[in-house]
Amino acid sequence: MTDAFAVVGTGTGVGKTVVTAGLVGWLREAGHDARTVKPAQTGYPPDDDASFVADACGTDAAATCLRRLEPALAPAVAADVADADLDYDAICRDTAAALADGNPGVLEGIGGLRVPLADGREVLDLVADLDLPAVVVADSGLGTLNHTALTVDALRDRGLPVASVVLNRYEGRSLAERTNPDVLADMTDVPVHTLPPLSLDEPSAAVDGVRDALPRAVFPDGLAPDGS
């Protein structure tokens, strides 16, 4: 796809939704009709990533979720537990259509890349079938070198460009945190950026925090906001 990219994570809870909200809000503030697409939301309620993005951007037009499942499990597992139908071809088709409505469209991943999605396919398969460049979100602390490098390798093995890595909740308090950005950049040959912890009492703080902390180069080529 053109005019679309993915925000993927090294696992659950690393901050994909915060970074996605920030990037989409940044684009919208610059005049782009950006829209995030969540192919499937599990743990609903209370988890609702698309609603967080919409709240952060101040409009429901900024985000959509295609399927919501109650069990807080991988989508394929959640569908099995809930006796719900989850069809990979339909997910792929509907995600592509929803992304095409954005300018750009932004796919938010689900957990890590190897999370089972549906019909024996994984999140990585969806990103690859849609041919999306990726922004990788990772934890900033000890252990992130392995998880992040493997995630970048998995994307590249499928022929997908990796635009950047964002190390979330970066404070630089530990030696691991302080050395991780440069080491990861050397390991992956990908630009590595750091995002400090954000106070998210107001979801819009995600947009301000991401825009203020990250450079335009965090976006894939040709998809950065104009004039900012």
Q: Is 38 a catalytic residue?
A: yes
Angle at 125 between CA 169 and CA 107, to 5 degrees: 50
For the domain made up of 4-218, give the CATH fold: Rossmann fold (3.40.50)
Query: Taking the complete model, does pTM exceed 0.85, yes or no?
Result: yes
Interval 32-74: pLDDT, tens: 999 999 999 999 999 999 999 999 999 999 999 999 999 999 9
pLDDT on residue 189: 98
Exposure of 109 in the CB half-sphere (CA atoms within 13 A): 35
Question: Which member of 28, 32, 38, 67 is catalytic?
Answer: 38
Helix (H) and strand (E) counts in the chain: 8, 9
Residues 6 or more apart whose Cβ sits within 8 Å of residue 72:
42, 43, 47, 78
> Does residue 228 have a pLDDT over 50?
no
Position of tokens 């602390």? Answer: 141
**pLDDT-derived band of residue 2, with 50, 70 and 90 as boundaries?**
confident
147-188 per-position pLDDT tens digit? 999 999 999 999 999 999 999 999 999 999 999 999 999 999
The domain locations on the chain are: 4-218
DSSP 131: T
Mean pLDDT across the chain, nearest whole number? 97
Residue pLDDT, tens place only, 183-224: 999 999 999 999 999 999 999 999 999 999 999 999 999 999
Quick check: helix, strand or coil at residue 116? strand
* CA-angle at 21, arms to 75 and 127, nearest 5°: 45
